[in-house]
Amino acid sequence: MRHKRTTSGAALAVGALAIAGLALAPTAVAVTPDTATITADCGTFGGGEATLTATQDGTAATITVNSSAITAPIALGEDSISSTLTLVTAGGGTTAFTGTENPAMAAGDPVTVGPLAGTVASGDSLEAFGGSLRMTVIGITITCTATGPQSPGPFVFD
């Protein structure tokens, strides 16, 4: 009987610790919306619709840019594009997301860059319209700008 009580007590203690761990675990933060679309103009390099996907973990945030309308001019190796996405804040400033992350792409493939890393504060509202995406590929800089506000609206970080 004594063994049964010890086992029950241990199970109760483990259960209490698990519940306490859940109560003390940091709450998940989220950015809304997590996906937005823009129409981008990249000058002589083309343009069209692009999708921006945002994630957040505390003050760290990432944004990935995908576009089937903007294509790779030549075959590009993995992590060969240096990118800076500058978004406009509601207060009129800017926030930059940078990185060299991209998948390998064949000539004509849709362009994907990111996740590009940046820092945000709770309540930040960031919009692509008025900002830019600068990509440097084999020494050539391509600048894309949004031709209008992103849809469904700016990214708002928790």
Q: Give 53's pLDDT tier (boundaries 50, 70, 90).
A: very high
**31 DSSP β-pair partners:** 157
Extract the runs of DSSP E, i.e. beta strands, from 9-139: 31-32, 35-41, 47-57, 60-71, 82-89, 94-99, 110-119, 125-137
Give the tokens for residue 36.
Answer: 């937005």
Which among 147, 155, 78 has a CA at the least distance from the CA of 113? 78
Predicted local distance difference test score (pLDDT) of residue 129: 97
Q: In the chain, pLDDT over 70 holds for what percent of residues?
A: 82
Q: What is the pLDDT of residue 26?
A: 45
Question: Has residue 5 got a pLDDT over 70?
Answer: no
Identify the pLDDT of residue 73: 83
Share of the chain above pLDDT 90, in %: 72
What's the mean pLDDT in 17-41?
68
Whether the pLDDT of residue 80 is over 50: the answer is yes
**Averaged pLDDT for residues 109-120:** 96
Which one-letter DSSP state was computed for residue 26? P
Q: What average pLDDT does range 77-105 have in this prediction?
A: 96
58 vs 21, residue with greater confidence:
58
Q: How confident is the model over 106-126, as a mean pLDDT?
A: 96
> If phi over 0 gives left and psi between -120 and 50 gives alpha, with beta otherwise, what is residue 68?
alpha
User: Residue type for 68, please?
Assistant: S
Least confident of 12-21, 24-33, 52-61, 83-92: 12-21
- How high is the pLDDT of residue 29? 61
Q: How many Cβ atoms sit within 10 Å of the Cβ of residue 97?
A: 27
Question: What is the helix (H) or strand (E) element at residue 140, kind and residue range?
Answer: strand 140-146
Overall average pLDDT of the 76-91 stretch:
96
On the question of pLDDT at 112 being above 70, the answer is: yes
Q: What angle do CA 88, 123, 87 make, to 5 degrees?
A: 15
